[in-house]
Chains A and B, each alone.
Chain A
Amino acid sequence: MNFEQNFTSFHLDILKEVGNIGAGNAATAMSQLLNKPIEMKVPSVKIVNFEEITELVGGPETVVSSVFLRIEGDAPGSMFFMLPVKQAKRLSRDLIGEELAARSEHAFSELAISALQEAGNIIAGSYLSSLADFTKLNVEPSPPALSIDMAGAILSFGLLELSRAGDHAIVINTTFIDQSEHLAHEIQGYFFLLPDPDSFKKIFQALGVPLDE
């Protein structure tokens, strides 16, 4: 699929709305989980080539904690919830306490890892269920998997399906901010929704704005 030819700015706006609804629910879930206010920024929707995608989180070598879910059902795709490693540390401390979370600079304790995985699961799950409600499509998440590593190495995995159909991805990206902290300590999380090539057609059809072919 050639995204640039088939997509109008109207279609991109609709995807932005999908991101808005999904991330809004996810922010609520996160805020309940942490028992503090979490705000989200207006999502951005971009058509980017594969090299550009990691720039959104600070470059291919930026170490991030990422929960990955494969979306299965009517509109398959990949979803990542990423936190820069420092912020993942903060989140794991918030969830299970200082001592249980601590280990070394990059390494996380077993318990911290499962806490992050579960938090990612709840947050991504609420994003996805609002997407399902909004589109009336049957979409279900695979069990979550967690990896703490270079952003480039992690994201390329989610691009595999797309890479069979081209060299570009549509990225629906939302940033979260923990408003209860000082600016320097804010938790910033990134959501990446990467529908497979054929899923765009289904998403737009479900929303009543089919793509011109």
Chain B
Amino acid sequence: MNIAKAPQLIRTTGLGSCVGVVLFDERKQISGMAHVMLPNSELTRVKPINKAKYADTAIPLLLENLIKWGAGAHEVKAKIAGGSQMFQFAGGNEMMRVGPRNVEAVKKELDRLHIRLVAEDTGGNKGRTIEFNPQTAELSIKTIDMGIYVI
């Protein structure tokens, strides 16, 4: 989990079933990124939990940090990317569907915190590297087949 102010960029590489969640205050040009691996902290088997990994703990923590850095609580918006299903199996158990489940859990949490989701590039079966520029609020996404595009 990282915070960046313009002109810094914030980036995470090789997202598969994980979801990159960017929260940002466009006016103040502050942003933060969380790397959500699993939908729910109840899935953990150890204490203390690593809050940065779960949708239901990482997003509130990121919001809190962003506000500490000076973001306006009601100004914060979100862009998300990731949540692929990297491997296709016949049948397949619930764990195989973790990408889509992560996306659902992230959206639910954003909703609960009244954070508006302004753009997303989720699902599919491709890995993504993402980079956010707090100055322009653009999230650029790179995949191996489609090159770089911006949301």
Report A's interface with B, CB cutoff 8 A.
54, 59-61, 63, 68, 106-107, 142-143, 145-157, 159-161, 163-167, 197
- Could you list some 19 contacts between A and B, CB below 8 A? A59-B13, A68-B86, A107-B145, A143-B89, A146-B87, A147-B125, A149-B16, A150-B13, A150-B144, A152-B16, A152-B127, A153-B14, A153-B16, A153-B17, A156-B14, A156-B18, A157-B98, A165-B44, A165-B45
Q: B89 to A142, Cβ gap below 8 A?
A: yes
Contacts of A61 in B (CB 8 A): 13-14, 129
Q: Is the interface of A mostly helix, strand, loop or mixed?
A: mixed
Among B16, B45, B53, B87, the residue within 8 A (CB) of A145 is B87
Instruction: List B residues 123-147 near A (Cβ within 8 Å).
Output: 125-129, 144-145
Q: B145 to A106, Cβ gap below 8 A?
A: yes
Q: A160 to B46, Cβ gap below 8 A?
A: no
Contacts of B37 in A (CB 8 A): 156, 159-160, 163
Interface residue total, chain B, C-beta cutoff 8 A: 29
Q: B45 to A153, Cβ gap below 8 A?
A: no
Instruction: List B residues 5-38 near A (Cβ within 8 Å).
Output: 13-18, 37-38
Q: B95 to A161, Cβ gap below 8 A?
A: yes
Q: B17 to A147, Cβ gap below 8 A?
A: no
Residue B118 lies at the interface, judged by CB distance under 8 Å to chain A = no
In Å, the complex CA distance between A159 and B145 comes to: 24
Q: B86 to A154, Cβ gap below 8 A?
A: yes
Residue B122 lies at the interface, judged by CB distance under 8 Å to chain A = no
Q: B95 to A149, Cβ gap below 8 A?
A: no
In Å, the complex CA distance between A68 and B96 comes to: 12
Contacts of A149 in B (CB 8 A): 16, 86, 126-127, 144
Q: A164 to B14, Cβ gap below 8 A?
A: no
In Å, the complex CA distance between A165 and B13 comes to: 23
